A and B are shown apart, each in its own frame.
Chain A
Amino acid sequence: RKEVEQDPGPFNVPEGATVAFNCTYSNSASQSFFWYRQDCRKEPKLLMSVYSSGNEDGRFTAQLNRASQYISLLIRDSKLSDSATYLCVVRGSSASKIIFGSGTRLSIRP
């Protein structure tokens, strides 16, 4: 089992739809979690950190499920500009463990 796994997609959804995807991790000792987005031929950019109690930033909601070892990202009222690859990042208990998922491609159509 990979240390961090994401469904590669692509997810192709209409503008205005709600879309959600998960990221599973294998190390139960993982301590911090993030979602990044990466546009084509650009650098990854932080979208949001993921907190134990769940957190929301505008149309974006991130949740952590420690029991099942996954994090999720929900995007409401999707916009064309949300089209990107979404990367989850899991950081372990030691400084040496920083794992990026392989990304989920999201495409929003008009």
Chain B
Amino acid sequence: DTAVSQTPKYLVTQMGNDKSIKCEQNLGHDTMYWYKQDSKKFLKIMFSYNNKELIINETVPNRFSPKSPDKAHLNLHINSLELGDSAVYFCASSQDLMQPQHFGDGTRLSIL
């Protein structure tokens, strides 16, 4: 059974569009995260939610808006996509803030 699942796996779209990536975890974890991994493979945290509350909000353009309808889901909506948004976006979850994280298998976003 998939522990952390995110959809879609691939997303190819044009500049200026709005898109969403969904993430769900069935591990019963309290904390969920979104990461961005760019072409240089550097993995950087974007957001973290703990029990549906936003606790980490790194310096990310406000075109990116996370939404957590419940603690098992953390979705990422991106407005007005730009070329620089092309990357792999990983969702992750952990039991709490200090425990290791389990990652989804990534969403490869390509902006044309």
Task: Decide if A34 touches B100 in the complex (CB within 8 Å).
Answer: yes
Task: Decide if B100 touches A103 in the complex (CB within 8 Å).
Answer: no
| B76-112 near A? 1/0 per residue, CB < 8 Å | 0000000000000010000001101111111000000
Q: Which residues of B contact A44 (CB under 8 A)?
A: 43, 90, 103
Partner of B104, one of A43, A49, A89: A43
* A-B contact sample (10 more), CB < 8 A, given A31-B98, A91-B98, A98-B56: A32-B98, A42-B105, A43-B90, A45-B103, A46-B101, A49-B100, A95-B55, A102-B41, A102-B42, A103-B41
B68 within 8 A of A: no
Give the size range of B's interface with the partner: 20 to 34
A residues within 8 Å of B by Cβ? 31-32, 34, 42-46, 49, 85, 87, 89, 91, 95-96, 98, 100, 102-103
Sort A-B residue pairs by CB-CB distance and give the 4 closest, nearest first: A43-B103, A100-B43, A46-B100, A95-B97
Total A-B pairs in contact (CB under 8 Å)?
43
Measured in the bound complex, the distance between the Cα atoms of B44 and A100 in whole Å is 7
B75 within 8 A of A: no
B45 within 8 A of A: yes
Which residue of chain A is the closest to B98 with respect to CB atoms? A32
